[in-house]
Amino acid sequence: MSLFEHKEFDQHEQVVFCHDKQTGLKAIIAIHDTTMGPSLGGTRLWNYPSSAEALTDVLRLSRGMTYKSALAGLPLGGGKAVIIGDAKTIKSPELFRAYGRFVNSLSGRYITAEDVNIRTSDIAIVAEETKFVAGTAEKAGDPSPHTALGTYLGLKAAVKHQFGKDHLTGIRIAIQGLGAVGYDFAEYCHKDGAALFVTDINQAACERAAQELNATVVGLDEIYGLDVDVYAPCALGATINDDTLKLIKAKIIAGSANNQLATQAHDHMVMDLGILYAPDYVINAGGVIHVCSEAANMSRTETDQKVRDIYHTLDIIFTRSKAEGRPTGQIADELAREVIAKKKAERFA
Ligand SMILES: NC(=O)c1ccc[n+]([C@@H]2O[C@H](COP(=O)([O-])OP(=O)(O)OC[C@H]3O[C@@H](n4cnc5c(N)ncnc54)[C@H](O)[C@@H]3O)[C@@H](O)[C@H]2O)c1
């Protein structure tokens, strides 16, 4: 398995392969870029079919964190880690302690947090071996409310650009996923006058939204083809793909899910269909801002302001995309690279 020639390598600073024989730990920690500060990104536990697939995922995710934090104006670089294994069987305190020692060996170049299949209780065990953790229950706590607020504000920026409106009255929104982020996001939209159409595999969440937010509950696959203004993916990744783009009538895609585009090509396809897409890592940055507030000792006011800045960052991206006729995802990547290049230039000035 080659690393430097890997298609997702993208100038990563450091990639650490971790193995602990006693606990069966197999993990990869990827540090993409520390220009803006120490790298921060969650640890994902996933039963990857092969270590090659784990490597591809961790490289792609850590690069994403570099861009996300840079555009959110955080003093953080990008990194990510994956632990390879089945979440139902592999977890043990010893495994998380072994992992914590690997994180600690990087002396703060990588700060870890929760991600898929990693709970705050797991991170608490990692924290027994290293101080380089964020998002612990005792400190910043659950980032979801900030992610929901940022997603709502980002949606407002999109609505302003696409429909010229400063409020959501009369805007019809299809929300996919009513979990920790999706439900709070739905509440903000409802309070702002939007009409909601919701779906979730969790029927109780749907019923609650119907009762409390006057939402119309629709089927899992029905969510794409609705006659709505906004499609808000707040559950799964890769829901913007060849199949769903044949169905989506919404003129805005704005939601909290990570990795919404199935491929980079869909960035262009969405634009060609006249849909305004709020790049996922920009609109859902409320979570990393929240976690950073703990890692970088940011005040509550500073944290809230950075979440509110998501509106302005998207405003810049949408304006530039329209002026240059280029997709929003491409513009976001470019802006992130500009932020990092400026910092590098300052350093060498
Ligand atoms: N929590 C955060 O702060 C945060 C930050 C950044 C990005 N995100 C992303 O936002 C998304 C939601 O995160 P969350 O924390 O709310 O997760 P969550 O697990 O609390 O909620 C996800 C919801 O989606 C539902 N769901 C699963 N499969 C579905 C399907 N096929 N159709 C419809 N609904 C389905 C689940 O039942 C659940 O209610 C994820 O993609 C996550 O990676 C979350």
- Written in H, E and C, the secondary structure of 81-138 is EEEECCCCCCCCHHHHHHHHHHHHHCCCCEEECCCCCCCHHHHHHHCCCCCCECCCCC
Q: Which atom of ligand 1 is nearest to the CA of 183?
A: 16
Number of domain units in the chain: 2
pLDDT at 297 over 90: no
78 Cβ below 6 A of ligand 1: no
CB environment 250-284: b (16+ within 10 A), e (fewer): bbbbbbbbbbbbbeeebbebbbeeebbbbbbbbbb
**CA-closest residue to ligand 1 atom 19:** 179
| 3-state percent helix, strand, coil for the chain, nearest multiple of 5 | 45, 15, 40
253 Cβ below 6 A of ligand 1: no
For residue 90, what is the domain's CATH number?
A: 3.40.50.10860
**CA-closest residue to ligand 1 atom 32:** 200
Q: Report which residue type is found at 155.
A: L
**CA-closest residue to ligand 1 atom 41:** 257
Rounded Cα distance, 74 and 85, in Å? 32
In a domain, 3, yes or no: no
**CA-closest residue to ligand 1 atom 9:** 257
Residue 97, pLDDT score: 98
173 and 204: one domain? yes
Over residues 267-287, mean pLDDT: 98
In a domain, 118, yes or no: yes
| Each residue's pLDDT tens digit, 215-235 | 999 999 999 999 999 999 999
233 Cβ below 6 A of ligand 1: no
Residue to mutate, 40, 151, 222, 256, ligand 1, most ligand atoms under 8 Å from C-beta: 256
In a domain, 1, yes or no: no
Active site residue 251: no
Rounded Cα distance, 168 and 242, in Å? 29
113 and 154: one domain? no
119 Cβ below 6 A of ligand 1: no
Residue 240 DSSP symbol: B
Q: Which atom of ligand 1 is nearest to the CA of 255?
A: 10
What residues contact 149, with CB distance under 8 A and at least 6 apart?
A: 184, 188, 286, 307
Q: Of 28-42, 109-123, 188-202, 261-275, which gets the smallest average pLDDT? A: 109-123
120 and 154: one domain? no
In a domain, 286, yes or no: yes
108 and 206: one domain? no
186 and 96: one domain? no
pLDDT at 18 over 90: yes
73 Cβ below 6 A of ligand 1: no
In a domain, 196, yes or no: yes
277 and 238: one domain? yes
Q: Which atom of ligand 1 is nearest to the CA of 280?
A: 7
**Of 68, 80, 91, 306, which one is the catalytic site residue?**
80
For residue 268, what is the domain's CATH number?
A: 3.40.50.720
Q: Which atom of ligand 1 is nearest to the CA of 147?
A: 3
Beta strand 77-84 pairing with 25-33: antiparallel
Q: Which atom of ligand 1 is nearest to the CA of 205?
A: 39
101 and 157: one domain? no
Residue 285, pLDDT score: 97
**CA-closest residue to ligand 1 atom 25:** 177
The vertex-234 CA angle with 120 and 89, nearest 5°, equals 40
91 and 179: one domain? no
Residue 295, pLDDT score: 75
227 and 328: one domain? yes
| Confidence tier at 140 by pLDDT (50, 70, 90) | confident
Rounded Cα distance, 188 and 12, in Å? 38
Residue 1, pLDDT score: 63
Over residues 117-121, mean pLDDT: 89
191 and 114: one domain? no
Higher pLDDT, 155 or 142: 155
pLDDT at 56 over 80: yes
In a domain, 39, yes or no: yes
Phi, psi of 197 (to 5 degrees): -125, 125
Over residues 73-87, mean pLDDT: 96
284 Cβ below 6 A of ligand 1: yes
Residue 15, pLDDT score: 98
In a domain, 7, yes or no: no
218 Cβ below 6 A of ligand 1: no
In a domain, 73, yes or no: no
- What range does the domain containing 39 cover? 14-62+78-126
178 and 84: one domain? no
| Each residue's pLDDT tens digit, 325-335 | 999 999 999 99
159 and 274: one domain? yes
43 Cβ below 6 A of ligand 1: no
Residue 236, pLDDT score: 87
Residue tagged 């083809």 (tokens): 225
